Amino acid sequence: MTTTELDVRTGVGAAQASSVPTRAVPAPIPFRRVLNVELRKMFDTRSGFWLMVSIAALSVIATAAVIVFAPDREITYESFATAIGFPMSVILPMIAILGVTSEWSQRSGLTTFTLVPSRGRVIGAKATATFLIGLASMAVAFAVGALGNVIGSALTGVDPVWNIALSAVPQIVLGNLVGMAIGFTLGVVLRSSAAAIVGYFVVSLVMPGILVLLAEVRDWFADLQPWVDWNTSQVNLFDGATDTAKEWAMLGSTSAIWIVVPLVIGVFFLRRSEVK
């Protein structure tokens, strides 16, 4: 359609047509705003809210249990950290799973991906929010454990024992983040809260036993097992025993097998799946 034809048919002169305001193209939603929304959504649901509350509650309960039931010689920072770390290693992956599957379990995916069509940005915001929640939760756990060590030592009349090396703290935090990454990956791949939670317990509780048994009955697998068993790498991180290049390489190998490759495949199909 030419400009002349447009003027003849509409009767609008060239000067008048040029004065018609054009619709401004809206600016893309900044990533920081998407991240803030994803952080808020992790607290909005009842399940997410109570999981967050349970982190602090179980930390206090575990600390109180050590003070009440542990003998005086076991009133150490390591005892409190171990007691708090066990429930944390279960709760944090659940938070990661619910954070990434909320768009499908709560049926809010159509709204989310309409406002932010780039699903990769949404998944990136969810991953960042999960990472920040993990760091904040670990900070709370370490603080509660330290407070429990001071109070427990005062009540039992012993000197506080700080027997966790400062160099081991980053490894403990990384160990929990690896567990969260496994849960996040299962959430991306399965996109179902129930299936991802069941899958996490299978991967974290059943699969390591199978791999250990296979290593015992097959000699050729004994040397390969640490390179494919992410549970072994996580335990080494919790113990602060990952200190050689070989052990870090094993951690990288298990992370690639259980996190990187499945996450890439899951994001690929997630970006092309139909949202209902």
pLDDT in tens, 155-189: 888 888 888 888 888 888 998 999 999 999 999 99
Half-sphere exposure of 123 (CA within 13 A, CB side): 20
Asked if residue 8 belongs to a domain, the reply is no
Q: Phi-psi category of 13—alpha, beta or left, where left has phi over 0 and alpha has psi -120 to 50?
A: beta
- Residue 192 CB neighbour total at 10 angstroms: 16
Asked if residue 13 belongs to a domain, the reply is no
What is the predicted pLDDT for the residue at 236? 84
What is the predicted pLDDT for the residue at 26? 67
What is the predicted pLDDT for the residue at 9? 47
Contact partners, residue 16, CB within 8 Å, separation at least 6: none
What does pTM read for this prediction? 0.84
Both tokens assigned to 206: 């059943």
* Spatial separation of the C-alpha atoms in residues 172 and 162, rounded to whole Å: 15
Containing structural domain, residue 261: 28-268
Asked if residue 1 belongs to a domain, the reply is no
Asked if residue 9 belongs to a domain, the reply is no
What is the predicted pLDDT for the residue at 16? 52
* Spatial separation of the C-alpha atoms in residues 224 and 247, rounded to whole Å: 13
Asked if residue 236 belongs to a domain, the reply is yes
What is the predicted pLDDT for the residue at 189? 93
Asked if residue 10 belongs to a domain, the reply is no
Contact partners, residue 3, CB within 8 Å, separation at least 6: 14
Both tokens assigned to 34: 């998407």
Helix (DSSP H) and strand (DSSP E) numbers for the chain: 15, 0
Asked if residue 20 belongs to a domain, the reply is no
Contact partners, residue 162, CB within 8 Å, separation at least 6: 76, 77, 149
Asked if residue 165 belongs to a domain, the reply is yes
Please count the structural domains in the chain: 1
pLDDT < 50 stretches in the chain = 1-10, 12
